[in-house]
């Protein structure tokens, strides 16, 4: 039995990408355990990496959108944590973490839909993508991350 209190949080950066109509980018993860759920681009922060640089790197890796196609207009006031559910604890991230501590950025997409390339990184993270109304975010994410998306949305709502 793993004691989650004994494990650290994995540092992570996420990106809420919005288009000119105020819609938010979401991708459907290829991972079979997350089938049917949609999420915004996010991923681990490398040791010594700047948080904003990590968020932009993840955006480019997962969505194919380089930094020059984004106008960063917001950052959450603090990192937001979530804990893994018991059934995933010890299985994800080689069992090293109890959850994630996420730093979120908001940016306007300056490109066109044709600039989005889910195969920009090998292997790809998403198999489908779409633009959604921001209020739909919490209902589309895996349930254990719902509170994170609600908090990110609350912080960015006025900027979207």
CA distance linking residue 65 with residue 127, whole number of Å: 16
**Residue 5: per-residue pLDDT:** 80
Per the structure, the complete domain to which residue 118 belongs is given by: 8-156
Q: How does pLDDT run across 74-94, given as a tens digit for each residue? A: 999 999 999 999 888 887 888
**Residue 114: per-residue pLDDT:** 97
In a domain, 3, yes or no: no
pTM for this prediction: 0.94
In a domain, 137, yes or no: yes
Q: How does pLDDT run across 15-51, given as a tens digit for each residue? A: 999 999 999 999 999 887 667 899 999 999 999 999 9
- Least confident piece of the model among 6-10, 54-58, 85-89, 143-147: 85-89
In a domain, 147, yes or no: yes
Q: Is 48 helix (H, G, I), strand (E, B) or coil?
A: coil
**Residue 93: per-residue pLDDT:** 87
pLDDT at 4 over 80: no
In a domain, 1, yes or no: no
**Residue 47: per-residue pLDDT:** 95
CA distance linking residue 16 with residue 109, whole number of Å: 10
Question: Residues with Cβ < 8 Å from 1, sequence gap 6 or more?
Answer: none
In a domain, 115, yes or no: yes
**Number of domain units in the chain:** 1
In a domain, 57, yes or no: yes
Q: How far is CA 97 from the centre of its chain?
A: 17
User: How many CA atoms lie within 13 Å of 151's alpha carbon, on the beta-carbon side?
Assistant: 16
Q: State the chain's mean pLDDT as an integer.
A: 94
Q: How many CB atoms lie within 10 A of CB 50?
A: 12
User: Sorting pLDDT into bands at 50, 70 and 90, what band is 63?
Assistant: very high
In a domain, 2, yes or no: no
In a domain, 46, yes or no: yes
Question: Residues with Cβ < 8 Å from 158, sequence gap 6 or more?
Answer: none
Give the CATH number for residue 64. 3.90.79.10
**Residue 89: per-residue pLDDT:** 84
User: Sorting pLDDT into bands at 50, 70 and 90, what band is 138?
Assistant: very high
């Amino acid at each position: 039995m793993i004691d989650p209190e004994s494990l650290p949080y994995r540092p992570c950066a996420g990106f809420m990408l919005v288009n000119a109509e105020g819609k938010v980018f979401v991708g459907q993860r290829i991972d079979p355990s997350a089938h049917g759920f949609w999420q915004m681009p996010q991923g681990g922060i490398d040791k010594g990496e700047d948080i904003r640089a990590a968020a932009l790197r993840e955006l480019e890796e997962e969505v194919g959108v380089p930094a020059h196609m984004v106008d960063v207009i917001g950052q959450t006031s603090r990192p937001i944590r979530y804990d893994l559910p018991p059934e995933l604890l010890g299985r994800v991230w080689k069992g090293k973490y109890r959850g994630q501590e996420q730093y979120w950025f908001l940016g306007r997409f300056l490109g066109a839909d044709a600039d989005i390339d889910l195969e920009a990184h090998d292997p790809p993270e998403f198999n489908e993508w779409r633009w959604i109304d921001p209020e739909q975010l919490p209902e589309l994410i895996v349930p254990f991350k719902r509170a994170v998306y609600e908090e990110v949305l609350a912080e960015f709502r006025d900027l979207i």
